[in-house]
Amino acid sequence: MATFAKLSDDGKTVVNILTFDKAKTTKNNQINEEVGQGHLYRTHGWPAELWKISEVDGVTPYRKNFASIGHTYDSARDAFLPPQPYPSWTLNETTCRYEAPTPKPVSPKNAEGLDIETYAWNESTQTWITRLR
């Protein structure tokens, strides 16, 4: 299966996600984005350049992250970016994911190996808040 993201008219916001047989994106036994874009244009009438491949077979994202509705397509980075969760979080240029100013703590595990605590970010104090399970 191949998954493509449909971008808004300005080419920046993911507005839809479609998954279909990857054979419709293949040329010379290789995944080819232009072939998939052509198929989507013929099928849906949306301009071919506003379709971007997100992933094939659900394994590895083509553009840093899997696309989701509401994500941004950054053409300079050729990456799908999730929304910034908090103003203090910064974009990691390597992963194209937002990171908190301080790393999330590692939860201790119970006898079954499950997390004992969960954590939530508190933007006003710029700290992680511990929540017991």
The answer on pLDDT for 109 being more than 70 is: yes
pLDDT band per the 50, 70, 90 thresholds, residue 133: low
For the segment 2-25, the average pLDDT, to the nearest whole number, is 93
Which ranges of the chain would DSSP assign to H, the alpha helix?
Answer: 33-44
In a domain, 122, yes or no: no
Determine the Cα–Cα distance for residues 24 and 88; give it in Å rounded to an integer. Answer: 42
Using alpha carbons, select from 131, 67, 124 the residue that is nearest to residue 104.
131
- pTM equals 0.83
Domain that residue 70 falls in: 2-82
- pLDDT at position 29, please? 83
Residue 69 in any domain: the answer is yes
Nearest-angstrom CA–CA distance, 119 and 52: 34
Task: Identify the burial level of 64 via C-beta atoms within 10 angstroms of its C-beta, where 0-12 means exposed, 13-18 middle and 19 or more buried.
Answer: middle
- At 116, the pLDDT band (50, 70, 90 cuts) reads confident
90 lies in some domain = no
